[in-house]
Amino acid sequence: MTVIKVVELLSNSKKSWEDATAQAIKRASKSINNIRSANVGNMSVTVENGKIKEYRVSLKVTFEVG
């Protein structure tokens, strides 16, 4: 039997939503083994002086538990 756990992560990037997602997975991989997938649930930006300052993502990461 396979058991899958889901954790929610928040990440940000000055480049893009894709970069924020990649950075979240990269960082999570340092402490979570067997990551199987990630589901991006929410994307947002912060704005300063009419320009995008930061891209933000909320994602759910699934991984197999031992």
We report the CATH number of the domain holding residue 39 as 3.30.1660.10
- Convert the pLDDT of each residue in 7-59 to its tens digit: 999 999 999 999 999 999 999 999 999 999 999 999 999 999 999 999 999 99
Number of domains in the chain: 1
Q: Please state, in angstroms and rounded to a whole number, the distance separating the CA atoms of residues 64 and 44.
A: 29
Report pLDDT for 66.
Answer: 77
Q: What is the DSSP string of 10-60?
A: EEEESS-HHHHHHHHHHHHTTT--SEEEEEEEEEEEEEETTEEEEEEEEEE
- The model carries a pTM of 0.88
- Domain of residue 12 covers 3-65
- Convert the pLDDT of each residue in 3-14 to its tens digit: 999 999 999 999
Report pLDDT for 60.
Answer: 97
